[in-house]
């Protein structure tokens, strides 16, 4: 999940191929394996924000200033994701 968010934050223009599919695969896996509802909700919010970013990129091509607020929001969500995940040693 974080890798996709990280790619979206640092991408110049379009996202790398397969990034969105990777995120949705992870989300489907969470649902199938009955992850905690809070984790699924957080992942769904990331997916919606990623789609908002992609829509902004399509409607304002080449205008990085227009998409930076969404990129920052997505980056913050990614950091929150890492902080919320349990650490296994």
- The whole-angstrom separation of Cα 78 and Cα 68 is 15
Count the Cβ atoms, other than its own, within 10 Å of residue 21: 10
Phi, psi of 67 (to 5 degrees): -100, -10
- Asked whether 5 and 78 are in contact (CB, 8 A), the reply is yes
**Lowest mean per-residue pLDDT among 20-24, 36-40, 55-59, 62-66:** 62-66
Q: What is the pLDDT of residues 10-51, one digit of tens each?
A: 666 667 778 888 888 989 999 999 988 998 999 999 999 988
Residue found by looking up tokens 């191929």 in the block: 17
pTM of the model: 0.80
End-to-end CA distance of the chain: 20
Which residue reads 């304002």 in tokens?
A: 60
């Amino acid at each position: 999940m974080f890798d996709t968010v990280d790619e979206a934050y640092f991408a110049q223009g379009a996202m790398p191929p397969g990034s969105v599919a990777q995120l949705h695969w992870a989300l489907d896996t969470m649902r199938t394996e009955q992850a905690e509802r809070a984790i699924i909700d957080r992942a769904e919010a990331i997916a919606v924000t990623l789609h908002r970013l992609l829509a902004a990129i399509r409607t304002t091509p080449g205008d990085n200033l227009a998409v930076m607020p969404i990129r920052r929001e997505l980056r913050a969500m990614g950091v929150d994701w890492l902080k919320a995940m349990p650490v296994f040693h």
